[in-house]
Structure 1
Amino acid sequence: MKKQHGPAFKVDQIDLAECLVCKGSAVIKGVFHELACVHCNASGWVTAATGEALPLEVLVTQLSMRLRIVLQQVNQLCRPVTCGPESLYVQNNRRGAGGTNYTGD
């Protein structure tokens, strides 16, 4: 184990797994209504290695990191891919007056 003084410079991503008690839904079925799951702090996520709940400060950071990665993947998949003559009309070629798009029409 490496000796370290002070906080880490970079936050490491922790492997998360769905809570086995609430099956990732963050609530458990009570007699009359749903109750917040106390095993996972009502988040639906626990550490994959130990199965323990994360502290709320760490959980917020880890979920934010995961959300950022997923949003990047969604943006890459939703980016329109143009090819052929259509790409000349979609992309700016800066050949027109004042650096505008010139299509030759």
Structure 2
Amino acid sequence: MRRVHGPAFKKAVIELSECPSCRGRAVTQGLFHELPCDHCNASGWVVAATGEALPLDELVTQLSMRLQAATRQIEQLKRPQAGGPGAGYQGGNRRGAGGTNYTGD
């Protein structure tokens, strides 16, 4: 085992899954009204490996990391990808002199 002093340099991503009690809704049906789910701390998410709820401070961090990853993926999908013969002309390929764009013309 490796000895490490202090916190990790990068925060580990914990795999999350929907809460089995509330099915990811964060609330359960009471007799007359909806109640916050006690199993997942009213978040709708639990640790996928163990099925236990995360502490609130860790849950906020993990959900923020998931949101940032989803936002990056959405932005990447929004950017049009050039295809066909014009694809080489759109972006820099750093193959020219001094790392400039080289198109082969």
TM-score range normalised by the length of the shorter chain:
0.7 to 0.9
CA distance in 2, matches of 1:81, 1:63: 29
Q: Where does residue 35 of structure 1 map in the other structure? A: 35
Length-normalised TM-score, structure 2 = 0.74
Alignment pair present for 1:23 and 2:28: no
Shift of 1:46: 0.3
Shift of 1:80: 3.1
The 5 Å alignment of 1:3-22 reads 3-22=3-22
Shift of 1:7: 1.2
Aligned residues: 88
CA distance in 2, matches of 1:12, 1:45: 17
CA distance in 2, matches of 1:83, 1:10: 36
Unaligned runs of 5+ in 1: 85-105
Unaligned runs of 5+ in 2: 85-105
Q: Where does residue 68 of structure 1 map in the other structure? A: 68
Q: Percent identity among equivalent residues?
A: 63
Taking only aligned residues, the RMSD between alpha carbons, in angstroms, comes to: 2.1
SS state of the match for residue 46, structure 1?
Answer: strand
CA distance in 2, matches of 1:77, 1:49: 30
CA distance in 2, matches of 1:41, 1:49: 17
Q: Where does residue 55 of structure 1 map in the other structure? A: 55
Shift of 1:4: 1.9
SS state of the match for residue 40, structure 2?
Answer: coil
